[in-house]
Amino acid sequence: MKSDSNSWKKLLSVLIFFTFLFFFVNYLFIPLGSDARVMISGGHLGATQYGGGLSGMVKSWEMKPFGNRIIFGVLHNIATVFVSYDNKAAFEFVVRFFYVSFALISSFFLARGISLSFGSSFYLSFFFLGLVFMGSPHLNNIQAEESAIIFSLLAAALLLNNRSWSSILCGVVLFFVLAIKIVTIFYVLCVLVFAAALIFEKKLRLKQLGLTLSSFVLTSIIVTALLSLLYPQEFIDITNTRMFQGSAGFELDKKVIFALYRYHALFFENMLANHPLHIGGIVASAMAMVLSAIKRKPFYAVLVFICYLFGLSGVVFQNKAFGYHYTFLVLPFIFSVWVVFHLSKEFFSRDKMYFLSAGIVGVLCLVFFSSLPRLVRIFFLAVAPFSIATILVFILSRFLRIDLRKGLKLVTHVCCIVGLIGGFLLSSIHFTYLTFIAPQRAIADTVRLKWYGGLKEHLDLTKVERESAKCAKKYVQSSSDPILYLDFGTVGYYLGNPSASRFQYPMPLTRGENNARVQALPIYQDTLKQALSYNGNYVIDDNWIIVDRHQGLDEMLKKNFSEHHCGTWKIYVRKVSNAEAN
């Protein structure tokens, strides 16, 4: 019997290893997403146009704050040590390798801390955390939200170390999480929720948490003061970004706030298949609620709810509901998975299962009330398999004298793992190279979920962009000539030329196209004036902005430049006058 058990463990280990290896290799060979390319372009300009080093990273412009620019500046600088920036396939491979390596290092330290503190399997914890990143779709990869998760996990690992130096360093890391996108303050709050759980389990002392919070506040004050003295433009950029993004501006109206949360929660239904942890996370969070009732530890149910609320707040406050914005829910889901496995170690006596069974039946009945929001019903359905299995275990234990505790523990682990595997399968058929053999249409018709920007479309877009860049280089004679970029931001990534404007992509112009309020702002007027006075040789447009909606821009291009087409790009080359030709 023991031999059979060991055989199954060996087989499971082999399956886990090859699954891990598949996602790791798949991650390395998928091209960067469009947003990641734009942000890497900012890192390139920081190194080549703004003097390089930390100063160049801070001085360069990108929509996100300086923390995110530092990440991409470091990735750019490391990658260019090994490969040429112009060799995009090799460059992206190296960027992905170092990025996912850092994610795995953070996962390693957190898995090790959880294993030492709670006796859980280091191997399975590391496997799970690593797949959270490697299984993430290319649309989410290296986004500010994903980077903030990596540093949040590192901060959680430092908390588990429970030493003074690690607590102080944790505060510094949490400040950097905030500096990545400001709205990532909700990640900081999620880490503090985990800290509350550690204090509840007596794995963290209040003194250590106090050191972390003090370090966070002190680091915030010091860095803010340094930025005010050395780089005051940073605060102007952050203010402008809020205007560009149209972030949610709340009046203190309960109905408005509730409506926004409800809207984004309902829209999340379409996002369930767009990250491997979304479906598994819903299952885990629902099960965590039930387990907290079983263990009579409502504190954990409160923590899961608060953590989920913080995650959804990160989506609501951006008020765009982009697919990668829902990455904010990944951290609450990781916490929920931990709660499930932590609370499923022991259960209470058989007699109290009467009350639990009655409660579960009542919850399942709520699924059939169509007046409830659909996402709430999905939440109940997620816990239904676990609930039904729990009732069956109770009946069997009552009449067949099966060990109730062992049965419940097995049911808990199986349901949670099946939910996680289901999420990974649904995500992988659209966002990994399995997409070329998976029956996507049949699966989509069955599960009724929506995928955004699949791998096939991404590979096709990458091919078109690379061909456009190859064509454009025939017209752009020098890599040192400043270009007026009127595109989404990827043109600068492929060509690598300096930008004639501080904005390597014309965000002020784009946001002002249909907005008279933005057009009246100085930043719009200054950006348009700078574009109209451009005296360089090249302007490139990929139809991201509509040039004839900006006074004088269309006329300037027609008068002074000849138009050429390279795939989806328009290359404007300055006309040569007769006097210049002679």
User: Along the chain (582 residues), what's the average pLDDT of each consecutive run of 10 residues?
Assistant: 57 78 91 92 92 90 91 95 94 96 96 90 88 86 94 96 93 97 95 94 92 97 95 88 65 68 76 82 81 81 91 87 88 91 66 51 54 58 62 65 65 73 80 80 68 83 93 90 91 92 86 81 88 92 86 90 92 71 45
Q: Computed from CA positions of residues 75, 80, 81, 82, in that sequence, does the dihedral angle turn out positive or negative?
A: positive
- The CA-atom distances, in angstroms, between 99 and each of 45, 102, 377, 433, 493 are 20, 5, 37, 20, 18
Q: Are residues 227 and 91 in the same domain?
A: yes
Could you tell me which of 554, 506, 561, 498 has the C-alpha nearest to residue 530?
506
One domain, residues 64 and 143: yes
Is 12 inside any structural domain? no
User: Residue 174: inside a domain, yes or no?
Assistant: yes
The reported pLDDT for the residue numbered 344 is 77
The answer to whether residue 11 is domain-embedded is no
Could you tell me the end-to-end alpha-carbon distance of the chain, in angstroms, rounded to an integer? 93
- Per the CB < 8 A criterion, the answer to whether 110 and 149 are in contact is no
441 and 477 share one domain: no
Q: Are residues 88 and 136 in the same domain?
A: yes
Residue 542 lies in a domain: yes
Are 440 and 483 found together in one domain?
Answer: no
Q: Please report, for residues 100, 154, 155, 197, 357, the alpha-carbon distance to residue 110 in angstroms, rounded to integers and kept in the order given.
A: 15, 7, 9, 15, 35
Lookup result for tokens 């734009």: 38
Q: 3-state class of 570 per DSSP? A: strand
Torsion of CA 58, 64, 70, 74, to 10 degrees: -130
Tell me: do 255 and 220 sit in the same domain: no
Residue 8 inside a domain? The answer is no
Same domain, 255 and 240: no
- Residue 443, in any domain of the structure: yes
Q: How far apart are CA 121 and CA 116, in angstroms?
A: 9
**Closest to 285 in 3D by CA, of 376, 185, 150:** 376
Q: Position 176: which residue type? A: F
**Does residue 10 fall inside a structural domain?**
no
The answer to whether 301 touches 288, Cβ cutoff 8 Å, is yes
Alpha carbon of 5 to those of 11, 119, 123, 480: distances in Å? 10, 20, 18, 65
**387 and 306 within one domain:** yes
What is the rounded CA–CA span in Å between residue 63 and residue 65?
7
Single-letter code of the amino acid located at 455: L
Q: Structurally, how many domains does the chain consist of? A: 3
Same domain, 333 and 309: yes
Contacts of 483 (CB under 8 A, 6+ apart): 476, 491, 492, 495, 497, 498, 499, 500, 536, 538, 539, 540
Q: What does each C-alpha distance from 296 to 27, 292, 302, 346, 416 come to in angstroms?
A: 42, 6, 12, 12, 20
Classify residue 383 as exposed, middle or buried by CB count within 10 Å of its CB (0-12, 13-18, 19+): buried
If asked whether residues 162 and 40 sit together in one domain, one would say: yes
Whether 273 and 152 share a structural domain:
no
Q: How far apart (Å, rounded) are the C-alpha atoms in residues 158 and 137?
A: 28
pLDDT of residue 549: 83
Model pLDDT, residue 432: 85
What is the DSSP track for 259-275?
HHHHHHHHHGGGGTTSS
Strand partners, 574: 561
Q: Report the side by side order of strands in the sheet with 569-574.
A: 483-486, 538-541, 569-574, 561-566
**From residue 380, how far is each of 286, 368, 369, 385, 386 by CA, in Å?**
7, 10, 11, 10, 10
Q: Which domain holds residue 545?
A: 462-581
Report, in angstroms and rounded to the nearest whole number, the Rg of the chain calculated over CA atoms.
Answer: 26
Q: At what angle do helices 330-343 and 298-316 cross, to 10 degrees?
A: 170
Residues 207, 265 share a domain: no
Question: At which of 202, 230, 245 does a domain end?
Answer: 245
Q: Is 235 among the domain residues?
A: yes
For position 292, what pLDDT does the model report?
82
